[in-house]
Structure 1
Amino acid sequence: MAADFVAGTLGGVAGVLVGHPFDTVKVRLQTQSSVAPKYSGAFNCCIKIIKQETVFGLFKGMASPLVGLTFINTLVFGVQGNVQRQFDQSSLYSHFISGSLAGFVQSFISGPMELAKIKVQIDTQGKERKGKYHGSIDALRKIYRMEGFRGCYRGLMLTIARDTPGLGIYFMSYEFYCSEIAKMYADGQIGIMGLLTAGGLSGMTSWVCTYSFDVFKTRLQAEGLDGQNKYKGSIDVIQKSIRNEGIRVINKGLGTQLLRAFPTNAAIFTCATLSLELMGQTSNNSNGRQG
Structure 2
Amino acid sequence: SQKSGGCYGIGMLLQVQNVDKPLYRGTYHCFQSIIRQESMFGLYKGIGSPMMGLTFINAIVFGVQGNAMRYLGHDTPMNQFLAGAAAGTIQCVICCPMELAKTRMQMQGTGEKKSKRKLYKNSLDCLARIYKREGLSGVNRGMVTTLIRETPGFGVYFLAYDVLTRSIGCEPDDPYMIPKLLFAGGMSGIASWLSTYPVDVIKSRLQADGVGGVYQYTSIADCVRQSVRREGLRVFTRGLTSTLLRAFPVNAATFATVTLVLLYARGVEEGPKDCELGPPNTAHHTQLPQQTQASSL
Is TM (by shorter chain) over 0.5? Answer: yes
* Aligned-partner Cα distance in 1 for 2:221–2:143: 12
1:96 to 2:81 alignment = yes
Aligned residue type for 2:27: A
Secondary structure in 2 matching 1:95: helix
Cα displacement string for residues 199-237 of structure 1 (whole angstroms, at most 9, x for unaligned residues): 000000011110000000000001211111111121211
- Indicate if the aligned counterparts of 2:177 and 2:275 stay in contact, CA closer than 8 A: no
- Unaligned 5+ segments in structure 2 are 282-297
SS of 2:14's equivalent in the other structure is: helix
Secondary structure class of the residue paired with 2:146: helix
Is this contact kept in 2: 1:27–1:122, CA < 8 A? no
In the TM superposition, residue 190 of structure 1 has moved relative to its aligned partner by 5.1
Aligned with 2:236: secondary structure? helix
* Corresponding residue number in structure 2 for 1:8: none
Matches for 1:11-160 after TM superposition, within 5 Å: 20-124=5-109, 126-130=112-116, 131-160=118-147
Alignment deviations for residues 233-280 of structure 1 (CA, whole Å, 9 cap, x no partner): 212111111111111111111111111110111111111111112322
Structure 1: gaps (5+ residues)? 1-11
- Structure 2 residue corresponding to 1:199, chosen from 185, 210, 233: 185
The residue that corresponds to 1:248 in the other structure is 234
Query: What does residue 294 of structure 2 align with?
Result: none
CA apart distance, 1:70: 1.6
Residue 202 of structure 2 corresponds to residue 212 of structure 1: no
Please list the CA deviations of residues 133-175 of structure 1 after superposition, one character each: whole Å capped at 9, or x if unmatched: 1121111111111111110111111000000000000000001
SS in 1 for 2:71: coil
1:171 paired with 2:158, answer yes
Provide the rounded CA distance (Å) in 1 between the counterparts of 2:113 and 2:235. Answer: 31
Judge conservation of contact 1:204–1:258 (CA < 8 Å) in 2: yes
Shift of 1:88: 2.8
The residue aligned with 2:292 is none
**1:65, 1:113 within 8 Å by CA — same for their partners in 2?**
yes
Q: Normalising by structure 2, what TM-score?
A: 0.86
The percentage of aligned residue pairs carrying the same residue is 42
Amino acid at match of 1:137: L
Give me the whole-angstrom Cα distance separating, in 2, the residues matched to 1:285 and 1:124: 44
Tell me the TM-score normalized by structure 1.
0.88
Give the alignment partner of residue 243 of structure 2, picking from 257, 282, 286. Answer: 257
Q: How far apart, in 2, do the equivalents of 1:287 and 1:35 lie?
A: 46
Question: Matched residues in 2 for 1:36 and 1:133: separation?
Answer: 25
Aligned-residue CA RMSD (Å): 2.3
**Residues in 1 aligned to 2:135 and 2:71: alpha-carbon distance in whole angstroms:** 39
Matches of 1:135 and 1:54 in 2, distance apart? 18
Cα separation, 2, equivalents of 1:94 and 1:286: 14
Structure with the bigger percentage of helix: 1
